[in-house]
Amino acid sequence: MPRNLDLSALRSFVTVAEVGGVTRAAGYLNLTQSAVSMQIKRLEDSLGMPLFLRAARKLALSPDGEQLLSYGRRMLALNDEAMSLLSATCCQGEIRLGVPHDVVYPSIPGILKRMAQAYPKVRIHLVSSFTLLMKQDYARGAFDLMLTTEETPDPEAEILSTRGLVWVGAVDGHAWQRRPLRLGFKDTCIFRPRAQAALEAAGILWEMATGGESEQAVEATVAADLAVSVRMLGSIPEGMAPIAGENQLPPVGEMKLALYRANRRRDEAMDLLVQELRCAYGA
């Protein structure tokens, strides 16, 4: 007799493998941690093989688990596509999402991929910019959903988490030691006035090494060890690293990640996207 894989258990397995833990996967799946663990155990029992190496400090896939992951992703994608296309109540249309450029990675690509699998008829129009500019556009109705990084979100915002700000420079760089300290920021960067105020309070002379609105120019200048900048923990671009050690540059505090949701669209697709953002950017 042919055997069938339990798709619910398979979805739990794939999610745990992708997000790196049972607790985080439970948030994505809207299940309890014990329910996810039981589904993984049931899947392992049905296959007669372990899918994770639990002896490791961090969950790691076994060789059989790595093989199943590839099949699982394809099976779930096909299942979700079929269910969405054949459902009479399938969501359609466009969701306009705004995300600050410095927190797009690493979470947004995976979120967009899962949304496309779950609701292939829904188009997510992603705009990446600075919080100050996006809030102006949001007030004009440009976004259905918007993430922000700001010190004091508006009352209607849902605060997802609070993250520390750190000085960053080139990997193994020395730009932080030079005076005047050269800074790399876009003109509209929300971290720029905070960094400048902290330096002035500490009596550290500074000058701007970049100008305009090119984030690529800022990142290239910092990665070349010609300037330093400030980034949020968990969102440090490739080629940069936190400036380690104490008493090197003054602290720049922390920033809140907030979620703004307009009430123009309320359906399953929007609810799933909100849940994805909460799981990815929540505390």
CA angle 133, 98, 113 (to 5 degrees): 155
pLDDT value, residue 90: 64
Residues 143 and 265 in one domain: yes
Do 115 and 130 fall within a single domain?
Answer: yes
Where among 37, 57, 86 does a domain terminate? 86
Domain final residue, candidates 86, 120, 136: 86
**DSSP bridge partners of 158:** 259
Domain assignment of residue 123, yes or no: yes
Q: Give the long-range contacts of residues 240-246, CB within 8 A, separation 24 or more.
A: 240/168, 240/169, 240/170, 240/171, 241/168, 241/169, 241/170, 241/171, 241/172, 241/173, 242/166, 242/167, 242/168, 243/166, 243/167, 243/168, 243/169, 243/176
Considering the domain architecture, whether residues 193 and 237 belong to the same structural domain is answered as yes
Statement to judge: residues 138 and 56 lie in one domain = no
Element (H, E) at 10: helix 7-19
In a domain, 67, yes or no: yes
Bridge partner list, 261 = 145
Q: What is the pLDDT of residue 9?
A: 94
Q: What is the number of domains present in the chain?
A: 3
d(C-alpha 187, C-alpha 196), whole Å:
12
- The one-character DSSP state at 263 is S
Contact between 187 and 161 (Cβ < 8 Å): no
pLDDT at 134: 94
Query: Which domain CATH number covers 101?
Result: 3.40.190.10
Residue 157 lies in a domain: no
Residue 143, in any domain of the structure: yes
Residue-level pLDDT at 102: 83
pLDDT digits (tens), the chain, 283 positions: 678 899 999 999 999 998 888 888 888 888 899 999 999 999 999 999 999 987 656 788 999 999 999 999 999 988 887 877 776 456 788 999 999 988 998 889 999 998 988 888 899 999 998 898 899 999 999 999 999 999 899 999 999 999 999 999 999 999 999 999 999 998 888 899 999 999 999 999 999 999 888 888 999 999 999 999 999 988 888 889 999 765 689 999 999 999 999 988 888 889 999 999 999 998 7
Q: Are residues 238 and 167 in the same domain?
A: yes
Tokens standing for residue 228: 């330093």
pLDDT at res. 89? 57
Any domain includes 171: yes
We report the CATH number of the domain holding residue 32 as 1.10.10.10
The reply to whether 70 and 107 lie within a common domain is no
53 lies in some domain: yes
- Say yes or no: 100 and 239 in one domain: no
Residue 168: closest CA among 99, 92, 227 = 227
DSSP string, 200-251: HHTT--EEES--SS-HHHHHHHHHTTS-BEEEETT-PPTTEEE--SSSSS--
In a domain, 247, yes or no: yes
* Domain assignment of residue 206, yes or no: yes
Which pLDDT does position 63 carry in this prediction?
92
Task: Give the structural domain span for 119.
Answer: 96-147+259-281
Task: Note the pTM of the prediction, 2 decimals.
Answer: 0.67
Q: Give yes or no: residues 127 and 56 share one domain.
A: no
User: At which of 66, 86, 106 does a domain end?
Assistant: 86
193 vs 183: CA distance, rounded Å: 11
Check if the beta carbon of residue 95 is closer than 8 Å to that of residue 122: yes
